[in-house]
Amino acid sequence: MRKFSVLALTWVVLFALTGFASAATPDFVDLAARLKPSVVNISTAKKVAAQPNWQGRGEPRDLFEEFFRRFAPNQPQRPRKETSLGSGFIISSDGYILTNDHVVNGADEVTVRLADGRSFEAKIRGADEKLDLALLKIDTGEQLPVAKLGNSEKLQVGEWVMAIGNPFGLEQTVTVGIVSAKGRVIGAGPYDDFIQTDASINPGNSGGPLYNMRGEVVGINTAIIRGGQGIGFALPINAARVTVEQLKETGEVVRGWLGVSIQKVSDELAESFGLDRTRGALIADVVDGSPAADAGIKQGDIILEFDGRDVEEMNDLPRIVASTPVGKTVEVILFRDGREFEVEVKVGKLSEDGSRMHGVSDTEDRLGLSLQPLNDATRERYGLDATAGVVVSAVAPDGPAADSNLRPGDLIVEINGRDIDNLETLREMIKPLKPGSILRLLVQRGESSLYTTVKLK
């Protein structure tokens, strides 16, 4: 009897554990079957100029090419066609499809293959390189299945997610995993805010959807780390919503502009300013004539909240401002002199390439810099003791100098080997140069000097 009781108890425990495992693991089978019809495979082709003089790699394609390679070495090759693969998903029944910009950028031909095997030529209706998004349109003459868009703000770390796409050309591949982290900054662009997942994402998955277990798109699979097993990144769908609507209506994207240069609030800076904890975006400089300047925002202010949205760290502010409608008046909570207070800002318009800063000269705009003369005021503000040079007061986040490692407070003392004594000297030198000219700058930063380059706009 005792033996029977132990055996019965064992079966009860096993049954309970099995039931728990079943409850903890979603039903991927039904979910995948329901979601796959709205996912598409994308193939692109573009003509690439061939290298002359037979400098391409690999074996000749046939005996005729071998002949010409030997006896007619100066003959140019015929243009060749370069192809690539990616993924996407249908966002409206009339044929609008969302994917990554890098999947279709520069393509001469874009073909969309539906889950049922039919293929259609697609037109690129618009693209946003900053967010790596592209909107395609196909005409099928019928209503198409649509992917439902979710709310990526509600996504939680540890939550199950499903990726569907076209990795390595393997159509309609389904992988699952969890949300490993949110808000990842990976250096992909000025508005980095990625979902990290361990769902398998590979080349060809780009542009495909990342679903939650309710069957809603919460992300767009965008990036991987080469050699990084189980590390993939997806753009949150909330970041794409405004862009998608603008691309559908006008084919282009308009972003909000504040006109400030910002930096990270470190623990030490937070303590020195009297903040209760490390948060916000510290204003390193304000562009003259900008919305921020008009609102009374000053150097040394810390922005804690913008239009009702918390600014927990520096990288939050550019994303929030960029997604705010141009012309909208918003409330901004600042921290200054040990207290919080509120100002109103009328959001300006960021230029198409993100580099124009209102209140700067054409020369400065071509550099993507806001510059100030070296005088008593700038010496005191930036702690300089030099007698010649030009002071960098702001760097346009997407302008020509964005990747030059320049920062507010740097002193430009030489360009292409020529001494720069003042703003007039700099402008005289830049004025006759053609767009695309490369400038070599010698910069003084504190007690150190460094070289950098800027490609003129």
Owner of token pair 């994303």: 319
Structure token digits, residue 305 = 């909240």
Instruction: Tell me which of 132, 192, 193, 365 is the catalytic residue.
Output: 132
421 is an active site residue: no
Ranges of H-type helices in 128-250: 237-249
* From 38, 84, 102, 128, active-site residue: 102
Distance, in Å, from the CA atom of 324 to the CA atom of 52, rounded to the nearest integer, reads 49
Check if 102 is active-site. yes
Could you tell me if 259 and 287 are in contact, meaning their C-beta atoms sit under 8 angstroms apart?
yes
Sequence letter at residue 259: G
Tell me the pairing of strands 160-165 and 123-128: unpaired
**267 residue type, one letter:** D
CB of 138 closer than 8 Å to CB of 95: yes
Q: What is the DSSP string of 90-153?
A: E-STTSEEEE-HHHHTT-SEEEEE-TTS-EEE-EEEEEETTTTEEEEE---SS----PEE--GG
Other Cβ atoms less than 10 A from the Cβ of 341: the count is: 11
Strand partners, 164: 174
Marked catalytic residue, from 206, 355, 393, 404: 206
Spatial CA neighbour of 95 closest among 142, 162, 32: 142
User: Phi first, then psi: what are they for 401, rounded to 5°?
Assistant: -95, 10
For tokens 């132990």, the residue is 6
Cite the active site residues.
102, 132, 206
